Structure 1
């Protein structure tokens, strides 16, 4: 199992993050953002390879593992987490960087690319939906709406009591076995259980969903459409690579439809993997990133 020496970094945004730092600081910088319910270890197979040619930062984002866990739901709003990203780059004196994100980390990466093009030079997304496409499909694609009902469950304030009642091990089995081959992750299970058992970790991780403004209609609901769906949406200006595990059961291939209209400089690569493509198909991910960056 690949281990990383984590640096504990105090940020002016009020949080302290554990950060895996690898590679030569003289090389181009690349920052990797994990999603739910993981940590920097999402990238355990990716970091050593990218560190051969890049200066790599992979934080445990706020709420995860042993990084800070603010108490208020609002502290997990995307703009707060983008601010962490920029503060982290500032700490390491990194001006412009390639940004890579998976799952929730990808959602933050999309937002950072939109709001901080002065800092994000290139964007790499792994199975994380563009905010406009995701919200649109939640209204117009009933298959994606059905696949996303778990978000409503994760926003339920009673979910932590349920997790406590069944235990973290059972929650792990229920969370991952629906989305991946258990053999791929069995050796990593103790790491997850250790990170999830940190005080306040489960609530903090779930607060990312609770702080999100994404509307997830029920299957029998027809709520008012968000106004931004019927207005021009700003384009992503950076060169962008999207790597998509096509067996993802939570984020369906509809997330790729119309993406080229929102991302003019877009490359999409399909991978035969599920949602957790960074560790389900690391060789394909590394090869694709290297080829695209070159």
Structure 2
């Protein structure tokens, strides 16, 4: 892996960032999800770096990047703010943004709020915020599949995981999906990063700070009126690469995208949720084909 650069942001935190490729090449920023780091993209960065300036941060709360205290510090606005501040720190005006899992959720929000900065958007198994929230009220299967979010919001979970041990956390939350891909030095790095003071709480605080409402499976909550109101479209060209075997984010997340993403390209791949680990070649192929046709 390329060495990391520590970058202080105007948001008051510091991120460790992997930088690769020519500085004068078209920039692309890669955002990882839970419970990962820039290592999400380890098999993808070398290809992109041939003709892009690649920026892959360890986001706030992860690895050795800053871990501010309190749930509010992980609100979506703060994390989107980090992204824009990172681009500014590197002198990047417009860029292609790629995100997986929580990184993809941040990417959707950033594209909606900062279309002047984000030229293209590539999403890997991360739900559009409106589609996801609506499905949690309207689709029983997606609601059932998302109950893990409620478990992650329980503040007793942090000590429970520490009591069980990080090897247990690795085996039950991550490695069962990507055992063959994450091993050796990568596994050791994750165990080390998760063992940093406050790391588990910081990572889980992303779930606790999210405004997404997850009703219980048998609940009959009043449906919020905003779910039937207009929602602004994403104006950029968007590529969605989706692991069809994802058991947490169901196909409805892709099927209901077209009304909200006018310029949409979808590539389904044979993988589960952790597509960058399970099928990196498919991600690269989809990105390269789309990049050749997308017009910012």
Equivalent residue, structure 1, for 2:160: 162
Equivalent residue, structure 2, for 1:77: 75
Q: 2:188 aligns with which of 168, 187, 190?
A: 190
Q: Distance in 1 between matches of 2:20 and 2:150?
A: 37
Query: 1:181 Cα shift?
Result: 4.3
Q: Distance in 1 between matches of 2:224 and 2:79?
A: 23
C-alpha contact 2:149 2:207 (8 A) present in aligned 1 = yes
* Structure 2: runs of 5 or more not aligned: none
Identify if the C-alpha distance between structure 1 residues 90 and 232 changes in structure 2 by more than 3 Å, giving closer, same or farther.
same
Equivalent residue, structure 2, for 1:105: 103
Equivalent residue, structure 1, for 2:246: 248
Q: Distance in 2 between matches of 1:222 and 1:157?
A: 25
What pairs with 1:265-276 in structure 2 (closer than 5 Å)? 265-276=263-274
Query: 1:128 Cα shift?
Result: 0.1
SS at match of 1:183: coil
Instruction: Give per-residue Cα distances to partners, 1:245-267, cap 9 Å, x unaligned.
Output: 00111111111122010000000
Equivalent residue, structure 2, for 1:39: 37
Q: Distance in 1 between matches of 2:271 and 2:27?
A: 27
Residue 135 in 1 paired to residue 133 in 2?
yes
Residue 96 in 1 paired to residue 94 in 2?
yes
Instruction: Give per-residue Cα distances to partners, 1:26-69, cap 9 Å, x unaligned.
Output: 11000000000000000000111100010000000000000000
Between the two proteins, the alignment pairs up a number of residues equal to 291
Q: Distance in 2 between matches of 1:104 and 1:114?
A: 16
SS at match of 1:25: coil
Equivalent residue, structure 1, for 2:28: 30
What pairs with 1:168-183 in structure 2 (closer than 5 Å)? 168-178=166-176, 180-183=177-180
Instruction: Give per-residue Cα distances to partners, 1:196-236, cap 9 Å, x unaligned.
Output: 00010000000000000000000111222233211100000
Equivalent residue, structure 2, for 1:226: 224
